[in-house]
Structure 1
Amino acid sequence: MFPNEEHIYDFAFTQASIGMALISFDGFLIKINTALCDLLGTHMEELTSPSRIPQEAQFLIHHIVQHGIPLQTKVLEKLLLEQYYNHPLGYRLSLGISISIIRDHHNLPLYYFAQFENKTMIRQMETQFHFTKTNLHEKEDSFQQLLERLPLAVLITDHGVIQYVNPSGLQLLQAECVDELIGMSTNSIVDVSNHDRLSERRKKYYSHKSVGSVIYLIHCLNGQQKYVEGFSIPITLNGKRAILGVFKDISAQTIEGERLMQSEKLSTAGQLAAGIAHEIRNPLTAINGFMKLLRSTEHKKEHYFSIIESELKRIEFIVNELLVLSKPQAVHHSKPMNLILIIEQVITFMSGQASMRNIEILPSFTEQSIWINGEANQLKQVFINLLKNAIEAMNQGGTIHIYVFTCNNEVRVNVQDEGCGMTEEQIKALGQPFFTTKETGTGLGFMITHNIIHNHGGAISIVSEPEQGTTFTVTIPTIIEPEETIK
């Protein structure tokens, strides 16, 4: 992360007026700001320590992790939740939670980004509005006074035409007087990109269907754009059915969230750029040094040429792997195929290399055919990479076991070696650009493997212990065997 990026990122996160947290997919708080601690009534040390985190906060994080799963597969871009939280001081909060995914420059999910907002007052107002609605005819004067004093913007519309605006609404829309807004269509205020949402909600209201809260991009009378969040309820105005909407300006927190996500992307890009520069600088330095030696001597040194050629090939290898990684792997021609045949072909291909190092590859299949949708060459690349890693990890020979079985509409392939294994820290770092446990590796092979499996709707996991070997588990969704065999 470059200094300016780190400063912007930390400032946006720590100075935010709303609660923010980065949460791992397995439920650990990676980073939180003080606004979240204040909101939840806890200390930073309690939330960041798994053994000290309060049970109520732990339940809240678990709720976020469980509901955020669709975000990882891009089924949703953002998820809005509302969850009750029992504050340590004895009162109950209604928390609005916005969940999105922080992704790296390859668009792979890293962790959840959650924003927390106290919506207790809005919900209390909503409850009060629902109660007041039933007695509206008897208490119109009191209701009018309530609307006038509300700190939130209130608009009453009839089929999208504004009939009433309270003082807070005038301030939100930058209007000088009520006459500027009365009779205006909400279509001219709400941005055209949100018109479909506006129209759909309007139909539901007049069909007596309930709807939840909503976020709109609006245009104020002075040309300023704002993001607003609110809810609407049907009421009776002058004997006619109308809609009352209560809205709050959320522009500041929306901008803060977008700035934070952009900082994360810049940070990831900066780390990758630094890694590429470091990896290519080393062979370039060696080439430059040997070129100077060649110029300073009258005799040709074949050994120098060999080293220069070797370093140039390493640069070419790094660039080729980066090119493979940058290709849109999601764009491939999937077709039904028998995964068992793919794995058998890879084992045949890799057996010669394994034998040269006194290694035996032993497959174990529970079925003769397991059908999936996939691209054969990409899947072969996955299992070649896994077997190659296993072979290179076993300097003393041994056995590589491959177990293939189905479970819950998925096929699982375990590649188990008897090699040097990895520490927990190495496993966590695996997949980062240019992290490798090999002397001549680039760390990009696992990223390529992970991308291919991800684009096949699958997942890959690792279990390893130092000196005890490593097991890679690939999981891919299965399909029903097609009527006609596709060769």
Structure 2
Amino acid sequence: MEQDTQHVKQFQSKTDLHAVLTSNGRIMYISANCKSYFSYSQEEMIGSFLKTFLHEEDQFLVESYFYNEHHLMPCTFRLIKKDHTIVWLEAGVEIVTPQMEGTDREIILKIKVLEEKTPRRPYMYEQKKQKAEQQSEDAAGNGEFERLVEMLPNPLYVSINGTIAYANNAMLAMLGAESKDEVIGRRSYEFIEEEYHDIVKNRIVRMQKGMEVGMIEQTWRRLDGTPVHLEVKAAPTTYKNQRAELLLLIDISSRKKFQTILQKSRERYQLLIQNSIDTIAVIHNDKWVFMNESGISLFEAETYEDLIGKNVYDQLHPCDHDGVKQRIQNIINRKTESEIIKQSWFTFKNRLIYTEMVCIPTTFFGETAVQVILRDISERKQTEELMLKSEKLSIAGQLAAGIAHEIRNPLTAIKGFLQLMKPTMEENEHYFEIVFSELSRIELILSELLMLAKPQQNAVKERVNLKKIISEVTALLETQANLKGIFIKTDYEHDSMYINGDQNQLKQVFINLIKNAVESMPDGGTVHIIMTEDEYSVNVTVKDEGDGIPENVLKRIGEPFLTTKEKGTGLGLMVTFNLIKNHQGAIQVDSKPDRGTAFHITFPKQ
């Protein structure tokens, strides 16, 4: 253990670069001299993931090394430089676990660039090396020790400046040799894949100088040419009074094969996640630590940095905080294996969206986390609301069809007989006026009910000048409006703007809208009517200066029997919405408290 500590200290004193990584491998800091070693500037590397720069065969090795809590030996791996050449690195790791709750741990990398040039050995280290050499010589002369080494289950060999001088039985079996003569005296390079030759040469030079080297993975070739993947641990030694290299090999072919399968599976999984139309994300300590491309689009963020590392509840609607927090805690505490909950979020463009979220347990760098799948149900919710509104319309239509005719018949008789009785009761004439006024009101409601039941009844669609229709309606209502201190101001882009529709029904639409606008301003004001057209449509805006429509009512506007007026029936706007729909038009309502309401109507252009 003491030797391992000394090794780490020795390695740390020879650091060429420092890097600080987040727990998920994103580079937070790297020494400015990275440009001279890797051709990448500091700005290019900071913010990127380390695996972006790693050789693909070493990615699994480095990730596994980060997970290991005991980093007694450095790790040797390859980094792809900007010019696509390879540089071998040796890195030691320190894990910084912050005391502050909710803060992720950090990984400090102390990197040594493996080059030919190596610093001179300290005097104290030379003394220790000489002592180790003496111990090695004593051990070599011990026959019992040689038998133990010969029977080791792992391949072991000693080379002098790269030439194999000794190999145990396991080494011969690994290479497929029948006798030691087939191996002894040959250069180790003959068995090692060419891509590793430079780093092997570097390691031999370092061990010849008595320096320690880290663990490395290599691919060797057996005598019959078949490849074998090895984990190589090496140390300087002496053999027959010569400086030599002691190497212990571990066959990791099965592990490497599994890693390859795992890597391909991981790539397919990542491809599936990145191309999923649903948002897939990971929540750790109430923060987004991963999110796919669909999530960035869902929240209308410009970059990943807008969301990654940010608190989940920043975008969540306040009314959903408690529910989502409880479900996430259930997953973290393993009370349930999955949770499904609906919630609403604010996008970065301040648009409200509705989602359905599935929560399942996962891990994030060994710590409990929650994986979520978010599905945008805004359109589904809108469809459900439209279906509900449609059902209400259907019920209202059936109701209207059922009672309108039944009421109108006796109403006609009552009105007729009252007309006959009126001349004989002149002293009560003012009562008759009240009665006739209320009967007219009943007839108006019945007309609206019939219009609601069969809005297309007697509809004759033809090419009509919408500007002319609106002018006739404003002329009809202007006098009544002026008496209440209300002015109707019109703004027409052109004198003639044509659509295909029924003249009477269109008049009904604008009578309802302008009357509502007038009635919304008891203290006077101005009704603005703006009419424009483009290549495909004719657009009309009717805007008042009233108190506006409350938000809870605005969401339900157009529903039957919904009204804010004391004597309103809630049928006028419903009929208006239906008539516009029957003309293939669209209507949008904007309203702000104390700033009035605007109805924006669009008709297809004829």
Global fold match (TM > 0.5) = no
TM-score w.r.t. the length of structure 2 is 0.33
TM-score w.r.t. the length of structure 1 is 0.41
* Pair member with larger Rg: 2
